[in-house]
């Protein structure tokens, strides 16, 4: 399924049905009086957060959404049937913005949470409502009100416990595949990952959700590479796993490049808890690994671990550590 994390849609609630101007007509009853029923309420457009969705792609192909109109009232004081609400399913983490794409209206953070994007119109009143002691045969009735209509933007921000960040080709997708049941695309070239991948890791009867964020390059906060379109997916993560390819010549430079992009995008990102993992230790000698860890860890407050996704005990160690970072 293709990934889309932003889309503009038009929503229109149903109009209310008109009230009825009916009069009672029965044999042998000359003046039956009014018996017009009220119109039915128009259907509303409701957004609902679903757990098993992770893209807004469906709304690229269908951008206009209209709920049903309420039926008109009828004789014998029958109220018109209300229009059915239109339920639009969105991924958990979706934010709703006004037409300017800047003013936040609603933020979905819980499964099955609902937001009424457009309220249905009220049903009109039948002539029975206007009967009085001075007007026994009112012909007055009212039409239903118009349902609300809006142009809104939907933006998806991934919700995960841990966000996996790093330069392209650091091994983020391989890590996600090793610790979860996710099946991200894995290859030995930059920008293999073109959209966030989610996976659930289970360890010691506890579950955590991880998000593999496409690789960051210098200038990402200004739109370079895959740009800011995916930096926003890190904002909701509780902690960050910063993955670095240990075969890089300068680990500190690799680390600082990513941290700089996070800082330039949002100062809040660098305040998150961070676990640094030096990956691909199976590709170099053990003595070199120890020396690189020692040099990198100097004057660095964050915790530093090593990883080889080919070794089960190495992966298990990372999984156990992630549990503490997700709490």
Helices 286-297, 251-265: crossing angle, 10 deg rounding: 40
- The band of 299, judged by pLDDT with boundaries at 50, 70 and 90, is confident
pLDDT at 235: 86
Strand partners, 106: 96
Whether residue 208 is found in the same domain as residue 91: no
Whether residues 219 and 144 fall in one domain: no
Residue 216 exposure: Cα atoms within 13 Å on the Cβ side:
33
Q: Please indicate whether residue 30 or residue 135 has the higher confidence score (pLDDT).
A: 135
Token pair, residue 248, equals: 């890089």
CA-based Rg of the chain, rounded to a whole angstrom? 29
Quick check: 229 pLDDT over 70? no
150 shares its domain with 166: no
3-state secondary structure of 22: coil
Q: How many domains does the chain have?
A: 2
**pLDDT level of residue 10 (50, 70, 90 thresholds):** very high
Same domain, 88 and 192: no
* Structure tokens belonging to residue 173: 């997708």
Looking at the predicted structure, is the pLDDT value of residue 226 above 50?
no
* Domain match, 189 and 64 both: no
Same domain, residue pair 118 and 239: no
Strands 239-245 and 273-279: parallel
Q: For residues 1 and 193, which has the higher predicted lDDT (pLDDT)?
A: 1
Last residue in a domain, options 156, 191, 225: 156
Stretch 77-91: mean pLDDT:
97
Instruction: Using the 3D structure, point to which of 141, 156, 171 is the last residue of a domain.
Output: 156
> CA nearest 144: which of 81, 90, 72?
72
- CATH code assigned at 114: 2.70.210.12
Given this model, what pLDDT does residue 312 score?
Answer: 86
Nearest CA to 45 out of 128, 139, 149 is that of 149
Domain, as residue range, for 171 = 162-326
126, 177: one domain: no
| Locus of tokens 């002539």 | 127
- Band the pLDDT of 195: cuts 50, 70, 90: low
Q: What per-residue confidence (pLDDT) applies to 185? A: 41
Which of these ranges, 184-188, 191-195, 200-204, 241-245, has the smallest mean pLDDT?
Answer: 184-188
CATH number at 210 reads 3.40.50.300
Top-ranked range on mean pLDDT: pick from 38-42, 180-184, 232-236: 38-42
The residue out of 156, 173, 190 marking a domain boundary is: 156
Confidence check: pLDDT of 193 > 50: no
Kindly provide the b/e burial profile for residues 124-137, where b requires at least 16 CB atoms within 10 angstroms of the residue's own CB. bbbbbbbbeeeeee
């Amino acid at each position: 399924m293709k990934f889309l994390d932003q889309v503009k849609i038009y929503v229109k609630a149903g109009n209310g049905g008109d009230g009825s101007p009916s009069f009672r007509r029965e044999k042998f009853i000359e003046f039956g009086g009014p018996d017009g029923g009220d119109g039915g309420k128009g259907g509303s457009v409701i957004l609902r957060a679903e757990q098993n969705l992770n893209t807004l792609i469906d709304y690229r192909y269908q951008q206009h959404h209209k709920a049903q109109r309420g039926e008109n009232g009828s004789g014998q004081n029958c109220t018109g049937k209300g229009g059915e609400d239109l339920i639009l399913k969105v991924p958990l983490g979706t934010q709703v913005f006004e037409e300017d794409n800047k003013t936040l209206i609603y933020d979905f953070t819980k499964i099955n949470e609902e937001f009424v994007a457009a309220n249905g119109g009220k049903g009109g009143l039948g002539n029975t409502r206007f009967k009085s002691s001075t007007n026994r045969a009112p012909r007055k009735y009212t039409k239903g009100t118009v349902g609300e209509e809006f142009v809104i933007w939907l933006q998806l921000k991934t919700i995960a416990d841990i966000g996996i960040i790093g330069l392209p080709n650091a091994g983020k997708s391989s890590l996600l595949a090793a610790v979860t049941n996710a099946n991200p695309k894995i290859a030995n070239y930059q920008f293999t990952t073109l959209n966030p991948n989610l996976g659930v890791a289970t360890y010691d009867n506890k579950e955590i959700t991880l998000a593999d964020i496409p690789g960051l390059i210098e200038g990402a906060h200004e739109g370079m590479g895959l740009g800011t379109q995916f930096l926003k997916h890190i904002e909701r993560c509780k902690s960050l796993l910063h993955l670095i390819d240990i075969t890089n010549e300068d680990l500190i430079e690799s680390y600082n490049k990513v941290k700089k992009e996070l800082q330039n995008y949002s100062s809040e990102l660098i305040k998150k808890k961070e676990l640094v993992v030096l990956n691909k230790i199976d590709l170099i000698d053990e003595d070199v690994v120890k020396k690189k860890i020692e040099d990198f860890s100097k004057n660095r407050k964050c915790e530093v671990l090593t990883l080889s996704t080919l070794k089960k005990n190495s992966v298990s160690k990372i999984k156990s550590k992630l549990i503490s970072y997700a709490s």
